[in-house]
Amino acid sequence: MPRVDFFIVDIRQLRYFIGVVEAGSFTKAAATLNVAQSALSLHVRQLEEGFGTQLLVRDRTGVSVTASGDKLLERARVILREIQLTEAELTNSVAAPSGEVTIGIPSGAARVLSGPLLESVRSELPRISLKMIEGMTGPLEEWMSAGRFNLAVLYRTAESVGQMTVLAREEFCLVVPPGQAPFEDSIRLADLHAFPLAVPMRNNNVRRSVADVVAQHGCVLDVRFEVDSLSTIINIVMEGKAYSILTPSAIQKEASQGQVRTVKIIDPVITRSVVLAVNPKDERSPAVSAVRKLIPKVVRTLIEGKHWSATVPDRV
């Protein structure tokens, strides 16, 4: 329906008006502003009709400004400067993002990732305060769904990870106490039943991932300890009381120091993806966006520096 409302100055009209005054003619201003002369004529006319006063004196040599026009010129410059400052301020906010970003991260991935990530954010995004919440993946999934974090590092075994970014791919392996069998580089899934296991509890992502594959292959496991504490599980293995099935990120440090050994599981290889999820509400936040872009870089650096036994996904 026809919009019958009171006159409101439009930014474009002000820009055209300033352009015309500065050029001294509509025709010159048209060339400068890259707009048709007729469009300038019409818009300035609309300003004059809106204000109810003449802003320009027109003659064959061009235009000059009236007293009212002079007032408007001054005011228009102030307004456009304010808009320019506004755009600069908000754009700078994008260029140098600041504020708090919260990220949930599983205990396993946190063991290789949390330190380097905090360091990277501190050095490359100094105005961002990264709050990292470590936890077992079950609760993390729930909390992320509840919107508790801006970002979350999660695990997925399916090929499809929706809109999440794949950070890395890991392979589950048998974690062996030092000096104990097996001494080969790899072990078949069907042979795992020979080793007593300390594993996370039933609803744990890791537990379910492995259990699904074992069941699919008609195998069984000898679960002796169910503990929802990664460090406790690792201690049990280090003390020779049991074995475990984990991904390399969980025991990267202990393995590199000879406190445990890892033996590759084959037939089949059990893999999973480490993914980065973003809360849809925060997708357009410049701070969240900046951290989101930084994490893959940190992961790549860790993997390529042999600080994390995982593979980087192919980029498409």
Partner DNA sequence: CTTTATCTATCTCGAAACGAGATGGCAGGC
Partner DNA sequence: GCCTGCCATCTCGTTTCGAGATAGATAAAG
Residue whose CB is less far from a second copy, 13 or 205: 13
What gap in Å lies between CA 173 and CA 309, rounded to an integer?
A: 11
Kindly list the distances between the CA atom of residue 180 and the CA atoms of 57, 220, 234, 243, in Å, as whole numbers in the listed order. 98, 21, 15, 10
Please, are residues 233 and 244 in contact by the beta-carbon 8 Å criterion?
yes
25 part of the interface to DNA, by CB under 7 A: yes
Please, are residues 114 and 134 in contact by the beta-carbon 8 Å criterion?
yes
253 part of the interface to DNA, by CB under 7 A: no
181 part of the interface to DNA, by CB under 7 A: no
- DSSP-derived letter for residue 301 is H
Interface residue with a second copy, options 27, 41, 93, 120 (CB under 8 A) = 93
Q: Which positions from 271 through 290 interact with a second copy, judged by CB under 8 A?
A: 281-286
26 part of the interface to DNA, by CB under 7 A: yes
Residue whose CB is less far from a second copy, 78 or 215: 78
DSSP lists the bridge partners of residue 278 as 151
When CB distances are held under 5 to 8 angstroms depending on the partner's kind, the choice from DNA, a second copy, none that residue 54 binds is a second copy
12 part of the interface to DNA, by CB under 7 A: yes
Helix, strand, or coil (residue 26): helix
Please work out the total of residues on this chain that contact DNA, with binding judged by CB under 7 A.
27
Helix, strand, or coil (residue 146): coil
Q: If residue 198 lies in a helix (H) or strand (E), which one and from where to where?
A: strand 196-199
Residue whose CB is less far from DNA, 31 or 269: 31
In the complex, least distance from residue 83 CB atom to a second copy, rounded to whole angstroms:
5
2 part of the interface to a second copy, by CB under 8 A: no
CA 171 to chain centre: 24
Of the candidates 291, 310, 311, which has an alpha carbon nearest to the alpha carbon of residue 132?
291
Question: Tokens representing 209?
Answer: 């991932």
Binding site for a second copy (CB under 8 A): 7-12, 48, 51-54, 57-59, 66-68, 71-72, 75-76, 78-79, 82-83, 85-87, 89-91, 93-94, 98-99, 281-286
Binding site for DNA (CB under 7 A): 1-3, 10, 12, 25-28, 34-39, 41-46, 58, 60-63, 146
